[in-house]
Amino acid sequence: MSVAVLAFPGSCDDRDALRAVALMGAEPVRVWHADSDLGGAGAVIVPGGFSYGDYLRPGALAALSPAMAAVRELAAAGGPVLGICNGFQVLTEAGLLPGVLRPNAHLQFRFQDVALRVQRESAWLPGVVAGDTLEIPVKHHDGCYFAAPAQLEELDAAGQVLLRYVHNPNGSVENIACVTNAAGNVAGLMPHPEHAVDPLLGSVDGRILLQGLLDQAVAVEAAI
């Protein structure tokens, strides 16, 4: 299985994501923002960084790139897409995920390990159940997730909230750390699973989300 990792001007975690994909036994494919296709990849990671220097607002310009048109096509066909940090911002700006990411409530950049509580069983979280906790690092300034009250009710009712912060590092509404689209094949989170794949880094919990990405890609391919 090959996984496309997008790279925008200003991306800084694309190489980490490429390495993490390789560690998981899949084939990483680097896709430049100006590319119009995903190189045959069956899954996508939109990585962290500062796409286009976060000009206007984080993710706004990246959402308009040619590569994102290809991401939309893959998502519409049921292919799995994972947005991490700036990638989460890009997916919300592109309309592929609900809500928005605002500056952290304390207006400070935060770089720390965070505990995340699993809200429900999901294809994105193989082997874990509701109530389990994962430890994955965050590093962001604009990671405060927000959605209107009515939309939050819809997300909760539809089971689109996968992870919540045990101790909220950024002021995200209802401690939300990870959400999906209505179909469930697009997910976004501010914590960095690609930085939690090696025991030397203190946690391998990021492998769970990456395995979920690969499992879904294999399932979609098998169904074709």
Pairing of strands 81-84, 186-189: parallel
147-188 tens-digit pLDDT: 999 999 999 999 999 999 999 999 999 999 999 999 999 999
Domains identified in the chain, total number: 1
Residue 224 has a pLDDT of: 66
Residue 223 has a pLDDT of: 81
Flag whether pLDDT at 196 surpasses 80: yes
Q: Which of 85, 93, 144, 178 does the annotation list as catalytic? A: 85
Is 85 in the active site?
yes
Residue 104 has a pLDDT of: 95
27-83 tens-digit pLDDT: 999 999 999 999 999 999 999 999 999 988 999 999 999 999 999 999 999 999 999
Q: Measuring CA to CA, how many Å separate 57 from each of 91, 100, 120, 186, 213?
A: 13, 11, 31, 21, 27
34: buried, middle or exposed (CB in 10 Å: 19+, 13-18, 0-12)?
A: exposed
Structure tokens at 27: 């084939």
pTM of the entire predicted model: 0.97
Residue 222 has a pLDDT of: 84
Q: List the CATH number of the domain containing 27.
A: 3.40.50.880
Q: Which of 33, 93, 144, 194 does the annotation list as catalytic? A: 194
pLDDT confidence bin for 215, thresholds 50/70/90: very high
Q: Which of 33, 140, 192, 195 does the annotation list as catalytic? A: 192
101-121 tens-digit pLDDT: 999 999 999 999 999 999 999
Query: What is the span of the domain harbouring residue 121?
Result: 2-223
**Whether the Cβ atoms of residue 63 and residue 94 lie closer than 8 Å to each other:** yes
pLDDT confidence bin for 221, thresholds 50/70/90: confident
Flag whether pLDDT at 204 surpasses 90: yes
